[in-house]
Structure 1
Amino acid sequence: MPAGRVVENVGVVTHTFGSPEKATRLFTNIGDCFVYDSSLRILDYAELYPIYASANGDISEAQIEKINLLDYLFLRGSNYIHTNGQWDPIIRVLERTKVPVIAFGIGVQTPDNSEDYVNESTKRFLQIVSHRSATLGVRGNLSKKALNSIGIKNVRVFGCPTAFRHCKPKLSLPRIKANEIKRLGFTLRRKTHGFGTLQRYLMRTLAERYQTEFLCAGELEEKAIFYARCNQIANADEVMAKAVNQLIKERWLYGENDPILQLYKSSLAVFETVADFEEAEQHLDAVTGFRLHGNLLALANEVPALYITYDTRTREFVKTLGIPHVDGRYIDKFSFEEAWDQADFGHFEETYQMRFGELKTFLEENGMAHRLGATPTPYVVEAA
């Protein structure tokens, strides 16, 4: 199903938008909403028809007839290339339809040094998409290599739609020294295996140095703490205690007096709409952290961001777009200030222009009308 739902004049919102109680029970990765919202801003269309495929692939003849009247189906960019994919239901839907299927910024998710990229279900799914596309748009060269390994050669690299959501051929980031930063955003990704201690260290030290806002992308316990702190849910004290106990159990917090918990209670931000997350970042001087799309949304809004990379996915991504970064695997004695002041945002600006051209070519060779180079419509129209 789509990553979120569309609200006219707002854009893409999470599936828990407007329901804090539900939000504390359902994980929703708002980064996926960024990609969905950005894709809709880039594409030029009159009607959006979200497709919800059931677990067994059942879909009515009326829906099949509707789909076959569309110009194309697009797959929101995500980690489609991996060994755990269960694509049989959507394969059955695709096999009953005729229109082009466009992969719009997909990528590989694989462990370090592995060349085992897909299972049979994923391989079949990607081959169908390849046969129904002029080219597949992918995140980077590792994703291209993975597709090449299963015989898919019609690939074009451009990164992720989120980078190009404002349809600008060029971006110009302000040059700001670390000692000039006042408001800093830290994009939180708690479940980064092997990097928890580093992330906690950065959160604490940066909060001591800057006015730091911690930007949550959908983690359940963080959402529970946020909504309980704001008294937006019933039994707020009980919800807060349960979330804190779970984080202690997972060894993210070291007791109820942990400084990270105090930061959560003062500076944690949760968002249920792309527009709200974007507005928050637009008011920051700088952004850093572990969230691929949280950092990218800042760059798309010409707010400088320094990535901390921690897996093949983030490393591939920063290379594709020339984004300043620090490789978390090799951090020993780390100075954020030094890393920030050495960051080459000019290289990112140059690479962005090149990838913008690749994206434009990708859309046009696949027959997809677009708004690149124009002012994007701030909302979309959704079919009933």
Structure 2
Amino acid sequence: MDRIYFHSTAQTLHRQVDPAPYTNGLPCPAVNTIEDLKPSFSLTGNKGNMVHAEAVLKLLNVNRSRSCVGNLSHLHKALGKGFGEYMRSHFDFVVLSMANFIRKGMNHTGLVAVLKEVDVPLVVFGAGMQTPVQDPGVLHPSTRELLDLLNKKCTLLGVRGEKTSEFMKSLGLHNHKILGCPSLYVYPKNILSIKAAGYSPGCRWATAGHVSYNNLDGSRPGFKRASTFLDCMEGVRPDYVFQDEVFSYADIESRPDVYDDATGRLSAEVINDFFKQRLGLKLPFTDYYWFNEVSQWRQYMMRVDFYLGDRFHGGVAGLQAGVPAIFIAGDQRIDELTDFFGMPKTTFSELKQSGVEAIVEEQCSLEALTVFKTRYRKRLEPFVKAVESAGLSLVNRNQLLAAAV
């Protein structure tokens, strides 16, 4: 059985500074204000991170009592000179979830220093860039150093799509495979069970975007996705699922009873009133949610008819629960992943011109879902082979191969 150190942001569990054997970190407390959600956010960052990072934990067949989730930089700081020997004696692999790490402004100096001292096999899933990088010179020097190191040391370096692969090849880096996002491989039976859906005025559906105060008040003049997103929601009443943007609502951060930890629901009355008072905006959303656990997210998604939104992993949570999802292609990441898997997608301009009802009828039709499922099936066996060629095994290997037929 393999002992794996997962360097990821998969779980909203507080990590012990001085852990005793046979113990776990604590879950988040039952808080009721937005301000009190900040510690849980610090554990994972953008809540979409949980979806792809959790997937790797669920997929790999490991010795679960000898494996762990953590942060390599923190461990390196705690152990000092004993770090390298500790990794050799305790782990057979280090697995990293690394979405969006190739981008301007990211400094990976600390991670590079740590990985240089790791001499057990490295495996990376989901590597990619969110926006195109035309000139590698705009990247921090540590990003190129990290790419060179991963290219040299990885047993498997999984990248998300064609554009990321082309960029890496342009740098002379060829030790990688295009695998998409691991979150699409956890529940293949649920994804292949998705049925056609339609829109009606009384249906319940979910969306997500970048609806934050600082994305709508004009303080980010180059960022138009939030206002464009709201333009496309005119005349409809979806639920809205937050990922990170809830922390821009300074005036209501400390207001009690805004958040219900049991259901993940935020007060629609408070949030809608905030935007009406501050920006004169009448938001179109029925309910608001924030989830600390992916399982809670999936359970919620089972209660909606479909997802249509500007957040990739918000839609994946639906797919994992067997709910159809349509992705608004607003950045390279969504384009890469939807193209790789053949997933239903639209654009802001198409959505604005045609309306939600027409887009759902087109993209959640039997024909569109057949295209998606056909492309999806083709991705399953290569994923199994790539993981196994790295010396790892999959818990759901037989399910993936059966779904590929």
TM range, normalised to the smaller chain? Answer: 0.7 to 0.9
Q: Which residue of 1 aligns with 2:361?
A: 341
Q: Which residue of 2 aligns with 1:37?
A: 54
Q: Residue 197 in 1 paired to residue 227 in 2?
A: yes
Q: Which residue of 2 aligns with 1:258?
A: 281
> How far 1:54 sits from its partner (Å)?
4.2
CA distance in 2, matches of 1:17, 1:269: 17
- Is the alpha carbon distance of 1:168 and 1:42 closer, same or farther for their aligned partners in structure 2, counting shifts above 3 Å? farther
Q: Residue 108 in 1 paired to residue 132 in 2?
A: no
Q: Residue 366 in 1 paired to residue 387 in 2?
A: no
Judge conservation of contact 2:12–2:28 (CA < 8 Å) in 1.
no
CA distance in 2, matches of 1:227, 1:304: 36
Match for 2:54: what amino acid? D
Determine helix, strand or coil for the equivalent of 2:205.
strand
Judge conservation of contact 1:41–1:165 (CA < 8 Å) in 2.
yes
CA distance in 2, matches of 1:172, 1:123: 41
CA distance in 2, matches of 1:223, 1:281: 25
Determine helix, strand or coil for the equivalent of 2:86.
helix
Determine helix, strand or coil for the equivalent of 1:89.
helix
> How far 1:321 sits from its partner (Å)?
1.1
Where does 1:218-367 land on structure 2 (aligned, <5 Å)? 218-221=244-247, 228=255, 230-231=257-258, 255=278, 258-260=281-283, 263=285, 267-328=287-348, 332-343=352-363, 344-367=368-391
- Is the alpha carbon distance of 1:168 and 1:65 closer, same or farther for their aligned partners in structure 2, counting shifts above 3 Å? farther
Q: Which residue of 2 aligns with 1:237?
A: none
Q: Residue 48 in 1 paired to residue 67 in 2?
A: yes
> How far 1:103 sits from its partner (Å)?
1.2
Q: Which residue of 2 aligns with 1:236?
A: none
- Which runs of no fewer than 5 residues in structure 1 stay unpaired? 234-239, 377-384
Determine helix, strand or coil for the equivalent of 1:134.
strand
Judge conservation of contact 2:10–2:51 (CA < 8 Å) in 1.
no
Q: Residue 183 in 1 paired to residue 200 in 2?
A: no
> How far 1:285 sits from its partner (Å)?
0.9
> How far 1:31 sits from its partner (Å)?
0.6
Match for 2:232: what amino acid? L
- Is the alpha carbon distance of 1:181 and 1:100 closer, same or farther for their aligned partners in structure 2, counting shifts above 3 Å? farther
CA distance in 2, matches of 1:375, 1:53: 32
**TM-score, normalising length: structure 2:** 0.76
CA distance in 1, matches of 2:301, 2:199: 17
> How far 1:80 sits from its partner (Å)?
1.7
- Is the alpha carbon distance of 1:54 and 1:101 closer, same or farther for their aligned partners in structure 2, counting shifts above 3 Å? closer
Q: Which residue of 1 aligns with 2:166?
A: 145
> How far 1:296 sits from its partner (Å)?
1.5
Judge conservation of contact 1:163–1:297 (CA < 8 Å) in 2.
no
CA distance in 1, matches of 2:125, 2:146: 15
**TM-score, normalising length: structure 1:** 0.80
Judge conservation of contact 2:302–2:318 (CA < 8 Å) in 1.
yes
> How far 1:324 sits from its partner (Å)?
1.1
Percent identity, aligned pairs only?
A: 19
Match for 1:50: what amino acid? V
